[in-house]
Amino acid sequence: MDKVISALNENLQLIYRKALDADAVLDSLQQSGKGKFQTIFSGDTPFHTRSKRFKDYIEEVAGDVAILQGKGDLSEQDKQQKLPLIVKKLELLITTLEQFKQSLKEP
């Protein structure tokens, strides 16, 4: 499980910078009167967070990973059960950040 948690943390670090860059673009778009939306992810995703910024979603996943790292708080079986949801959240973030980046390149 330690290797899995380490890989999750590495992925979080990789997308954290991308999330901050995307949030800066979103700020710019909203200041110019564009980007009128309520949340990045709809209610049918595994996220509990509802935000206009990617960083808040990254923080949710980081919190989930921190729970997995907790010593003695969860049984190994509980950790195994939580892992697929954390991976799904991470995949959604990576995919959405990439789609957002691509949409900015289109004329």
State pLDDT tens for residues 37-83.
Answer: 788 988 889 999 999 999 999 999 999 999 888 866 788 898 899 99
Domains of the chain, residue spans: 2-102
Q: How confident is the model over 26-43, as a mean pLDDT?
A: 83
Q: pTM to 2 decimals? A: 0.88
> What's the pLDDT at 34?
78
- Distance separating alpha carbons of residues 51 and 65, to the nearest angstrom: 20
- Distance separating alpha carbons of residues 102 and 42, to the nearest angstrom: 20
Residue 9 CA from chain centroid, whole number: 12
pLDDT at 107 over 80: no
